[in-house]
Amino acid sequence: MVSIDVIVPQIAPRRWQELVIERLRADGHDVAVLHQAEAAAWPAAAKLAFAFEQRLFRRKGPGLGAPLDRLEARSGGRPVALRLDLAGNAALSDIPTVGLRFDGSGFD
């Protein structure tokens, strides 16, 4: 399958980012996780809002947008076919990179 580098924020990545990585691996892709160093910490109010949402909807676990403590970096040491930028502003590269945009703006 395809070798993919997934770039996530180093500080408090989101749960949905972890699920994307898990599903790519489950499909047989060779996935490496890289951290974007410039990521900012989440404000305390945002963490409280996610906790309130979890209680309000009586969820057993956090929602898809909730921050995680961290995702462990895992390098592949192989030629990369694709980069998936889930952090929002990865450095430029010769490797094809897919990034997320909403209304022309980067992630968050």
pLDDT of residue 105: 64
pLDDT of residue 72: 80
Return the structure tokens found at 99: 């990034």
C-alpha torsion sign, points 26, 32, 36, 37: positive
pLDDT of residue 39: 61
Contacts of 49 (CB under 8 A, 6+ apart): none
pLDDT of residue 21: 94
Domain boundaries, the chain: 3-99
pLDDT of residue 26: 96
CA distances from 37 to 8, 20, 42, 48 (A): 9, 20, 14, 24
Return the structure tokens found at 47: 């963490």
pLDDT of residue 106: 62
Q: What are the pLDDT tens digits along the chain (108 aa)?
A: 889 999 998 888 888 999 999 999 999 999 999 988 766 666 788 778 888 888 888 888 777 777 777 778 777 778 899 999 988 777 788 899 888 877 766 655
